[in-house]
């Protein structure tokens, strides 16, 4: 019998254990791999000796695992059954297996392990944020929460939204009866009242308006200062990407939905902004930008636009396809796509004040590895008692 392990959570050590490359690790394969790391096995034995003795209420010499062998349980988290030739892994306790596979791995693997521990052993928001960020290191916390738009940034976004859906930044009801120029010019007092009325009208219209695909193209023109019909190419492409990430699949967005969906681009860290553009370029949602997709975009994109240098650099790389990790590395080396800078400028966002990837990681891991490990043990004990 074989135990299935999630390949997405393991590093190259899994491949070393999976000798027949069938994406499953048999008992014999696991034993061979485990016993090949004698030093690591001894470390695990030292860490688990006291716990094992306490768990089985027998003298430590009886309960402890023989050095370099899997003939007896070495820890209550992973059960090795030599008679049935199985390895039983508690799904809620994958951290140990993950730690095994991350042995002698890169700092990136250590960060993933830390997020695993935070997600299951942290408290409150810390655990929530870590859980949202587990697709990390390779994807650099693209799922992390983002800063909120300020009132002034949100106001600018609202005006662009209403201009796209109604032709007026205050909505269709703002033209005609009460807000024409002759009334606004009568007195400063009345002017102030009208400005207040316009603001109330904007709030009302924003609450009820829903933007369709054609209006969304106009919205992208305003947010990214696009020219030369560039919005007719980029608008549908970005719209498809946002629909994939939206709970409502009818292709229409409320203002609040757009605020949430635009958050990573406007207020996220560099990796989140890169992920936003990657998702827009990934037209089929496959998780890869193929060279064909890049060529197709280059042919459709109007020349001289903010996308051109970004796309041509991807073509020059010569890779058959690009993962999110590839694109983040590309952006780090070549600089962000021009639409990012344009959006920040239009909305009045100071990019230098946004968090970096490292700052987000430190914010999530501020408890420290040892403290998190302790919290993890408490949570595991509580689950066992239940």
pLDDT of residue 174: 36
CATH of the domain at 333: 1.10.238.10
Among candidates 75, 68, 11, 81, which has minimal Cα distance to 34? 68
Domain contains 187? no
Domain contains 285? yes
Q: 30 and 97 share a domain?
A: yes
pLDDT of residue 327: 87
Per the structure block, which two tokens stand in for 294? 């890049």
Q: 283 and 160 share a domain?
A: yes
The structure tokens 């700052």 sit at: 359
Total domains in the fold of the chain: 2
Domain contains 144? no
Q: 41 and 155 share a domain?
A: no
pLDDT tens for 74-103 read 332 333 333 333 344 444 434 444 444 433
Residues belonging to the chain = 386
Q: 51 and 159 share a domain?
A: no
- d(C-alpha 118, C-alpha 51), whole Å: 21
Q: 54 and 163 share a domain?
A: no
Strand segments (E) across 31-107: 78-81, 86-89
Strand segments (E) across 102-172: none
Domain contains 258? yes
Domain contains 76? yes
Q: 97 and 229 share a domain?
A: no
The set of long-range contacts for 193-196, using a CB threshold of 8 Å and a minimum separation of 24, is none
Q: 57 and 164 share a domain?
A: no
Q: 299 and 158 share a domain?
A: yes
Q: What is the DSSP string of 229-272?
A: THHHHHHHHHHHHHHHT-S-TTS-B-HHHHHHHHHHHHHS-HHH
Domain contains 284? yes
Domain contains 161? yes
Which residues span the domain enclosing 224?
Answer: 151-171+209-354
pLDDT of residue 285: 81
pLDDT of residue 219: 94
Q: 63 and 159 share a domain?
A: no
List phi, psi (to 5°) of 218.
-65, -35
Instruction: Enter the pTM of the model.
Output: 0.55
User: What's the Cα-to-Cα distance from 52 to each of 48, 164, 215, 315, rounded to whole Å?
Assistant: 6, 65, 63, 56
Neighbouring C-beta atoms of residue 39, cutoff 10 Å: 9
Residues of the chain with pLDDT under 70: 1-122, 124-144, 168-207, 360-386
Cβ atoms of 149 and 263 within 8 Å: the answer is yes
- d(C-alpha 16, C-alpha 37), whole Å: 11
Per the structure block, which two tokens stand in for 194? 């009208």
Neighbouring C-beta atoms of residue 48, cutoff 10 Å: 21
Cβ atoms of 53 and 140 within 8 Å: the answer is no
Domain contains 117? no
Q: 293 and 167 share a domain?
A: yes
- d(C-alpha 79, C-alpha 72), whole Å: 9
């Amino acid at each position: 019998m074989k135990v299935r392990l999630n390949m997405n959570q393991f590093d190259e050590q899994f491949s070393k254990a999976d000798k027949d490359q069938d994406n499953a690790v048999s008992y014999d394969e696991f034993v061979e791999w485990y016993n090949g790391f004698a030093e690591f096995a001894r470390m695990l034995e030292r860490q688990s000796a006291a716990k094992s003795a306490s768990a089985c209420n027998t003298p430590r010499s009886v309960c402890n695992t023989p050095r370099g062998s899997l003939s007896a349980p070495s820890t209550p988290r992973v059960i090795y059954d030599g008679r049935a030739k199985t390895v039983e892994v508690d799904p809620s306790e994958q951290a140990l297996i993950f730690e095994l596979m991350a042995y002698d791995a890169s700092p990136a693997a250590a960060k993933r392990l830390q997020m695993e521990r935070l997600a299951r052993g942290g408290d409150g928001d810390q655990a929530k944020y870590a859980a949202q960020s587990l697709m990390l290191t390779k994807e650099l916390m693209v799922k992390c929460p983002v800063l909120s738009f300020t009132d002034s940034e949100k106001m600018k976004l609202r005006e662009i939204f209403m201009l796209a859906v109604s032709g007026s930044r205050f909505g269709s009801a703002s033209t005609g009866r009460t807000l024409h120029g002759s009334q606004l010019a009568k007195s400063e007092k009345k002017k102030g009242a009208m400005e207040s009325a316009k603001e109330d009208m904007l709030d009302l219209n924003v609450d009820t308006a829903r933007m369709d695909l054609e209006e969304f193209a106009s919205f992208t023109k305003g947010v990214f200062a696009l020219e030369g019909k560039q919005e007719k190419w980029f608008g549908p492409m970005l719209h498809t990407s946002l629909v994939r990430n939206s709970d409502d699949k009818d292709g229409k967005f409320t203002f609040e939905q757009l605020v949430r969906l635009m958050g990573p681009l406007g207020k996220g860290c560099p990796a989140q902004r890169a992920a936003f553009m990657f998702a827009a370029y990934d037209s089929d949602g496959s998780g890869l930008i193929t060279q064909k997709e890049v060529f197709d975009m280059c042919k459709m994109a109007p020349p001289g636009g903010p996308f051109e240098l970004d796309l041509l650099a991807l073509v020059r790389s010569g890779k058959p396809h690009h993962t999110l990790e590839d694109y983040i590395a590309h952006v780090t080396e070549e600089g962000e796509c021009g639409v990012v800078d344009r959006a920040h400028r239009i909305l009045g966002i100071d990019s230098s004040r946004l968090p970096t990837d490292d700052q987000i990681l430190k914010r999530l891991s501020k408890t420290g590895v040892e403290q998190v490990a302790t919290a993890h043990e408490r949570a595991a004990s509580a689950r066992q008692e239940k």
